[in-house]
Amino acid sequence: MVTRDQIQSKIDNLNKPKGSLGRLETLALQICEIQQTLTPCLSHPCHILFGGDHGIEKEEVSFSPREITWQQMINYTRGGGGVNMFCRQHGFKLRIVDVGVDHDFPECLISTCDSDTDNKIINRKIAYGTNNFLYGPAMTENEWQRAVVVGADQVDACHKEGCNIISFGEMGIGNTSPSSILMHLLLDIPLEDCVGAGSGLDSDGLRHKYEVLKQAVSNFHQRNQHLDATFNRGELEKVSFCGFEMAAAVGAMLRAAEHRMIILVDGFIMTACMLVAQTINPTVMDFAVFGHCGDESGHKRMLDAMNAQPLLHLGMRLGEGTGAICAYPIVQSAVNMINEMDNFQHAEITKYF
């Protein structure tokens, strides 16, 4: 077993001032611990994009209309999305998974088997979107478990191909709403500080969104006021508010941690999914590298509350997992640093500290 002290010693003996490569050093330490080696590597990076629609969208909490979900899913099969461009640039294999999109895709776009995934949609549809959580749970416990299995199975497929670093993205109009509520409920942050403009709401739209979500939270508490105060946090919240694509991402994160894979975490929605995953298994955070702090209101507060330090802050709020993929070269740099830099002794340089 490789110890933390052994890894730190190797980093400190690279021919550089101690700590001079900053975040790259702590990142290399984390990756070595994940892989249990002093010579880490990155292999077959994969990105899984889960799609699903949300019943709460019908309350006009999103600037974008519902049909954008299925239209963008088709766009991904043509290679025209932001996520496609970044996957091509950084060498990621992209898997597009329909977990709950409110649309029937043409058969020509549907993957027929797990190996036939290039420019195809993997059909794992559980339902045509979640229920409207303003009036009741977004999904049943059975639906939650099915979505979690979808995510886990997709990670298994990537792992079987040799993947040891993975990222996740989402496509689902309205999914900043459940993310805001989960942040509020699981981190005890005032709801108003958690609700943002999503894909572009103006001030009136933002106020309307807040009022809808405030009522949804109030209804949730009223429905569940009989439960014991010791009820496991996260258990009820996840089925009450998550989208199918979010549940699949949670399952994927948990399975990736089981495989000891590096998990690149994207923006607001995927951070909320990691928050939920953490309530199920806290050790999942050991495998998480937070790629990007987006401009969605509340994202920085959620990251701070989770003691997560993102690698980038580029003002992005596209979603799809784009911020995570953009952070990949920094992870590569950390791995190259510990593998390729010479040490003081071999380079015959005086170690002066």
| CB-CB contact of 2 with 34 (8 Å) | no
Residue written as token pair 């077959």: 44
Separation of alpha carbons 279 and 248, rounded Å: 15
Cα 6 to Cα 91, 255, 279, distances in angstroms: 31, 28, 31
Q: Rounded to the nearest 5 degrees, what angle is found at the Cα of 66, between the Cα atoms of 220 and 209?
A: 45
Separation of alpha carbons 170 and 322, rounded Å: 10
Buried b (16+ CB within 10 A) or exposed e, 284-321: bbebbbbbbbbebbbbeebbeebebebbbeeebbbbbb
245 is catalytic: no
For the residues of 82-107, what is the DSSP string, one character each?
HHHHHHHHHTPEEEEEEEE-SS---G
Report the candidate in 106, 107, 102 with the shortest Cα–Cα distance to residue 125.
102
DSSP classification of residue 289: E
Percentages of the chain per state (helix, strand, coil), in multiples of 5: 50, 10, 40
Catalytic residue among 25, 57, 237, 320: 320
DSSP classification of residue 81: S
Q: Catalytic residue positions?
A: 320
